[in-house]
Structure 1
Amino acid sequence: MGAFIAEVALRWSDMDAFGHVNHARTVTLLEEARAGLLFTEAERQGLSGMAEGMVVARVVIDYHAPLVYRAGAIQVRMSVRDLRAASFVIDYTATAGDAASVATAETLMVPYDLAAGRPRRLTDGEREFLAEWQLDPALTNKERDLA
């Protein structure tokens, strides 16, 4: 299918004393984008279980340019890779306005059983949903950004 694209509003409170969006707020913006995919879009497709237990096991962010506050939103393109029985990785490319990417990131996600207090396996439906957002591994990084 290609990348899932989320528009995430910037807030004045995202700006720090240096006039740009700081690291902690960037993580929150990516989290909001991810919720659009894993919770809103998944539920739209009949998969409400993802919102009931999904945890971040690792997050990595590479900054390419300062993200300065401006009225409006950033665009976050997301795709899935390394889809396994009990984990997957979401790749992100965040852009603002006409600028090239301001940041790229990845999160290692693990489905979690809140009642049992432990990780769980992805259901067949969750795996099928996530597979829709996988990009062709033969694509270059530039081609992935355009997908």
Structure 2
Amino acid sequence: MGVFVTGVRPRWSDMDAFGHVNHANTVTLLEEARIELLFTEAARHGVKDMAEGMVVAKLVVEYVTPIVFTGEDIVVEMSVRELKSASFTLDYVVRGSREPNSPVVTKAETLMAPYNVTTARPRRLTEAERDFLAGWRAGGNGA
């Protein structure tokens, strides 16, 4: 499997003057999806350290087509591409609806770094974090 799939719901207030979700609000929707994987799903598997400190070191977004507010969820598919000792890259494919084969509206990637908020310094991934993330590698088994 290797792909974590979650839905996020754009809000009416996310739209801009052109009637589609504003680019900055798209980034917020990606963040909401990322929280589902790195905090909620990780905690469900007993991996709670990521919720204690994780920062975005790099963000790349490709806006394929506009996201239009419909009142329904958009679907965010995430997988881990690169897994290093102190960082990992998440890839995102965003689809405009839950319909099968819904068109891709956005592609993105974030370089994530674990962070110790107490010392205000980056840290290495724990073994449990690495194991959890390895399950979401593209082409992997998924947890």
TM more than 0.5: yes
Please state which structure has a larger fraction of its residues in helix: 1
1:130 aligns with 2:94: no
Match of 1:105 among 91, 101, 108: 108
Question: Unaligned 5+ residue runs, structure 2?
Answer: none
CA distance in 1, matches of 2:19, 2:68: 6
In structure 2, the partner of 1:2 is 2
Instruction: Output aligned runs, 1:78-97, within 5 Å.
Output: 78-97=78-97
In structure 1, the partner of 2:30 is 30
CA distance in 1, matches of 2:7, 2:66: 18
Q: What code does the residue aligned with 1:108 have?
A: L
Instruction: Output aligned runs, 1:60-75, within 5 Å.
Output: 60-75=60-75
In structure 2, the partner of 1:40 is 40
Percent of matched pairs sharing the same residue:
58
What is the DSSP-based 3-state SS (H/G/I as helix, E as strand, rest coil) of the residue aligned with 2:83?
coil
Question: Unaligned 5+ residue runs, structure 1?
Answer: 138-147
TM-score normalised by structure 2 residue count? 0.93
In the comparison of the two structures, how many residue pairs are matched?
137
Cα shift at 1:136: 3.1
What is the DSSP-based 3-state SS (H/G/I as helix, E as strand, rest coil) of the residue aligned with 2:5?
strand
Superposition RMSD in Å: 1.1
Q: What code does the residue aligned with 2:121 have?
A: R
Instruction: Output aligned runs, 1:109-120, within 5 Å.
Output: 109-120=112-123
Q: What code does the residue aligned with 2:6 have?
A: A
1:14 aligns with 2:14: yes
What is the DSSP-based 3-state SS (H/G/I as helix, E as strand, rest coil) of the residue aligned with 2:84?
coil
Cα shift at 1:116: 0.7
Q: What code does the residue aligned with 2:80 have?
A: V
